[in-house]
Amino acid sequence: MEIVAADIGGTHARFAIAEIREGRVASLGSETTLKTAAHASLPQAWEAFKRRLDRPLPSAAGIAMAGPIQGKILKLTNNPWMIRLASIGDELGVDQLALINDFGAVGHAVAQLDPDHFRHLCGPDQPLPAQGVISIIGPGTGLGVAQLLRRDGHYHVIESEGGHVDFAPLDSLEDRILDLLRSRYRRVSVERVASGLGLANIYQSLAQIEGQPIAYHDERELWEAAMGGTDQLAAAALDRFLLTLGAAAGDMALAHGADAVVIAGGLGARLADRLADSGFPTRFVAKGRFERRMETLPVKLITHPQPGLFGAAAAFAQEFGR
């Protein structure tokens, strides 16, 4: 059967037609990306997708949304659309609808994607396990965290707010970074350091520690300088970011009792060529008495270009496709 797959974020709404067969995603069509600011609501964007496709849309859909799927009205993160759960199916003209959090959708993508959509980062170079727990960590605008439990040919995606656990400094420099961030935030979560905005927080803290002026106030310019190595302080901030991400990913794996880890998120893909050769692997396994166990965990990077869209379709397939 065909369904509409949608991935609704703060800035963009992405749509595609997916084919579901035997409880899995058989194919995902080409993506249509719309700016959320250009449309007053999800139904309006839905109609715009329909006009671009120039064909009737299927009466079934899997939709991933950037925000918690709870309550009567969904308020999306960084998106002005208001979505009423009781009427959204009628408004979109669908009679089968799977709604899921955007990072939960990534968990479904990890569950159903073929092995060639994963790139080995560190640990044993072996496939993701068919049984057990996989921790999924997604540095992006925030820090997404989910668990995938595989057992007896079935799977369950467990969403979490793991990105909001406390930031735990591991050396004297991180102690100083934490002290400085405490003057700006009531509470310093790991997301304040190991997400898109985290690079700016680290960079500004290092500038203060070094007594240097802050040369970059634009996040995009800072990332370009850090990735390109054109500014020593920005590059140092990126090195520290990767250390912190490795420590956070290892912490999540320990907390979940994981058998493997997958790095997702927009920054994960952007940093693909740096993660393995950075401080990430060392910090990932540096867990004291559990270091040997951490060394046994394969760590992969998801490489599918649209895991949110694929995951939205996969969530529908799991709920309705069998």
Known binding residues: 6-11
Burial class (CB in 10 A: 0-12, 13-18, 19+), 12: middle
Query: In whole angstroms, what is the distance from residue 133 CA to residue 111 CA?
Result: 11
Write out the DSSP string of 202-214: HHHHHHHHHT---
**Binding site for ATP, residues?**
6-11
In the beta sheet, which residues pair with residue 24? 21
Write out the DSSP string of 41-105: SHHHHHHHHHHHHTSPPPSEEEEEESS---SSEEE-TT---EEETTTHHHHHT-SEEEEEEHHHH
CB 134 within 8 A of CB 147: yes
User: Residue 214's CB: how many other CB atoms inside 10 A?
Assistant: 13
